Amino acid sequence: MTFRIATLNMEQDHKRWDDRRGLIISEMGRLKPDIFCMNEVCIPRQTGRWLQQVGGAAAGHTYCLVQLSRPGEKSLADGEGILTRFPIVETANLDYRIHDGVAQVARLEVDGRLVDVYVTHLYRSIGEDSERIIQVQRLLEWVSSRNDADVRIVCGDFNATLDMPSAKLMRSAFVPSQTDVTAFTPLEGVMGDVSHPDWRRFDRCIDFIWVAGQAKVVESGVCFAEPANDDPTLYPSDHAGVWADLDFA
């Protein structure tokens, strides 16, 4: 059985969300992901629930939603989320206890197999990679403690390229589905502001779908990476996303 998973950092509700959210829905309709992982779900506007309903209708799926807010005051802003059309066996979460980072997992039943899908968002891209190494160490320890799943998939914004130590540590246990660029798009806000203005657009790969266990990547690519037809400054998000088709090994 082949199933499709996609991941996207949604940039909360910043930079013309009401205008760009339709681009996310259109791409969900094109991709029709069985599983959709989300970084920076906007908690006040409940964008996860909105995508569950409207994105699910576009994809032709009835999605279940699980989401996790960041700790402390950050819980008022954003969190991680997973949409899935597969039955959920259980969910759990991990607080990295550093930089308000969290990880979430949903254990799914897919064609009679147990598939653990994790979503996380690591320390900011302009920060020291040593901080992300701590987060990856704690993530891998947690994943290892849940070693009774057939397949393990970790999705999200890792804010590190594959040549950096934190990503190399992830690669010691997981295989990345792709190496294509995912950050950053030329998305502009109302005042023309862009994320990380000192960095080139589409210049690196920092968003990943990592795979381990009894599954292999059949095909993968970049998604949510095209501007609106009538506005070259309007993109689905300030990141491009990643999709992958997986099959059981």
Question: What pLDDT, on the 0 to 100 scale, is given for residue 72?
Answer: 87
Question: What pLDDT, on the 0 to 100 scale, is given for residue 159?
Answer: 96
- Average pLDDT of adjacent 10-residue blocks, the chain of 249 residues: 97 97 98 98 97 98 97 91 98 96 98 98 93 98 97 98 97 95 96 91 96 97 98 98 96
Number of domains in the chain: 1
183 Cβ neighbours under 8 A, 6+ residues apart: 125, 157, 202, 203, 204, 205, 206, 207, 238, 239, 240
133 Cβ neighbours under 8 A, 6+ residues apart: 165, 166, 169
* Nearest Cα residue to 38 out of 128, 104, 109: 104
For 14, which DSSP code? T
Question: What pLDDT, on the 0 to 100 scale, is given for residue 198?
Answer: 87
Place of tokens 């197999």: 113
Q: Where are the beta strands (DSSP E) in the chain?
A: 2-9, 35-42, 64-69, 78-84, 88-95, 102-110, 113-121, 151-157, 175-176, 207-213, 215-223, 241-248
Torsion on CA atoms 193, 194, 200, 203, rounded to nearest 10: -170
Q: How far apart are CA 26 and CA 23, in angstroms?
A: 5
Question: What pLDDT, on the 0 to 100 scale, is given for residue 113?
Answer: 98
Question: What pLDDT, on the 0 to 100 scale, is given for residue 154?
Answer: 98
Question: What pLDDT, on the 0 to 100 scale, is given for residue 107?
Answer: 98
9 Cβ neighbours under 8 A, 6+ residues apart: 38, 39, 40, 121, 156, 157, 207, 237, 238, 239, 241
Instruction: List the CATH number of the domain containing 45.
Output: 3.60.10.10
DSSP-derived secondary structure for 161-211:
-TTSHHHHHHHTT-EES--S--B------TTS--SSTTS-TT-B--EEEEE
Question: What pLDDT, on the 0 to 100 scale, is given for residue 74?
Answer: 87
Q: Quick one: tokens of 62?
A: 């009835």
Question: What pLDDT, on the 0 to 100 scale, is given for residue 227?
Answer: 98
151 Cβ neighbours under 8 A, 6+ residues apart: 110, 113, 114, 115, 116, 211, 212, 213, 214, 215, 246, 248
| Ramachandran category for residue 18: left, alpha or beta (phi over 0 → left; psi -120 to 50 → alpha) | alpha
Question: What pLDDT, on the 0 to 100 scale, is given for residue 127?
Answer: 85
> Residue 183, Cβ neighbours under 10 Å: how many?
24
Place of tokens 């949604």: 10
H or E, element range at 49: helix 47-50
Question: What pLDDT, on the 0 to 100 scale, is given for residue 249?
Answer: 80
**Domain residue limits at 146:** 2-248
